[in-house]
Copies of this chain bind each other. A is one copy, B any other.
Amino acid sequence: MAKSWKEWEKPVLELEDTIKKMKSLVDAEPDPVRRKELADRVADYERRRDAYLQTRYSRLGPWEQVLIARAEPRPYTLDYINALFNDFVELQGDRKFGADHAIVGGPALFEDQPVMVVGHQKGRTIQERTQRNFAMAKPEGYRKAIRLFEMAERFAMPVITFVDTPAADPGVESESRGISEAIAASMLAMFELTVPVLSVVIGEGGSGGAIGIAVANRVFMQEHAVYSVIPPEGCAAILWRAPEKGAQAAAALQLTSDSALRFGLVDQILPEPFGGAHRDPSEAAKTIREVLRAGLAEFGAMSPEARKAQRAARFRSMGEVLAASNS
């Protein structure tokens, strides 16, 4: 069982190192024939790298998907906000208790249209990770989100959310301030909206912490994101008293994008540049841009009542039950 996404990216990193060195040789080579030869070899190496990435990423197992969904170089919410929106003004207060940096949000322009953006935010440096509590939001994070959702409704702004959290914060303080109520109230607030709501699962869709801001008219999921009712390690701990069996649990939980699509729980998988979104963030953003544009057009054309009803109906249909013939 792999411990990090770096394990299978090691050959790539080595290849890229070689390519880089050879490229400097190409530049330095005076003889045109010899230069051509070297350039061909570089191109060959690049093809090999691409082929490897394409093969490797097309057959990632569920556990490897978990690892890549959690990978630090993966683009985070603020990366996409910077790439996709203009004039983002972050609004911080929940107006009740505190400022939670595990969820960011505020108004922004998407192709000149005002929208309200809300998303979980991880950190890259140790300091930022601590400040953002590893994107594990506390009650005040969800209450800030609620405030922004309600503001969007008042000003007829579509809502766009980015989902990327291991889980909601489970600490003693979060319990005492009602983390459960905050998550439930956030979902409730999203069901009350009559503006269009679009969500994109960009990394870890971690249980209640994720669904708390993912009650949308349409939910997109990036190819290598995961979405799960419980972290695989937690599942393994409960089922087999063996948290290290996370890989087995990941397989059992079917937490990958293709499973979520198959069960009708997300609406569309967003293909990532091969080798993952982190290899080409602007290409990944472009894909998101296109589905957001289409989604805003589609739901923008609906009546407010129809948007609210569609959202409720979308979730109403979820679940697989049988009916006993005689009861």
Give the distance in Å from the alpha carbon of A97 to the alpha carbon of B96 in the complex.
Answer: 9
Among A174-198, those with CB < 8 Å from B are: 177-178, 181, 185
Among A57-113, those with CB < 8 Å from B are: 95-97
Nearest-neighbor residue (CB-CB) of A181 within chain B: B95
| A interface secondary structure, majority | loop
Q: Which among B96, B177, B181, B185 is the interface contact of A178 at CB below 8 angstroms? A: B96
Q: How many residues of A contact B (CB 8 A)?
A: 9
Min CB gap A150→B, angstroms: 12
Give the distance in Å from the alpha carbon of A95 to the alpha carbon of B185 in the complex.
Answer: 10
Give the distance in Å from the alpha carbon of A96 to the alpha carbon of B143 in the complex.
Answer: 9
Q: Which among B95, B177, B185 is the interface contact of A97 at CB below 8 angstroms? A: B177
Which of chain B's residues have a CB closer than 8 A to the CB of A96?
96-97, 139, 143, 177-178, 181
Among A8-30, those with CB < 8 Å from B are: none
Give the distance in Å from the alpha carbon of A76 to the alpha carbon of B96 in the complex.
Answer: 29
Which of chain B's residues have a CB closer than 8 A to the CB of A185?
95
Give the distance in Å from the alpha carbon of A177 to the alpha carbon of B95 in the complex.
Answer: 8
Among A150-192, those with CB < 8 Å from B are: 177-178, 181, 185
Which of chain B's residues have a CB closer than 8 A to the CB of A95?
178, 181, 185
Instruction: Rank and list the top 7 A-B pairs by shortest CB-CB distance, nearest first.
Output: A95-B181, A96-B96, A97-B177, A96-B178, A95-B178, A97-B97, A96-B177
Knowing that A96-B97, A97-B177 are A-B contacts, what are 7 other residue pairs whose CB atoms are under 8 Å apart, sorted by A's residue number? A95-B178, A95-B181, A96-B139, A96-B143, A96-B177, A96-B178, A97-B97
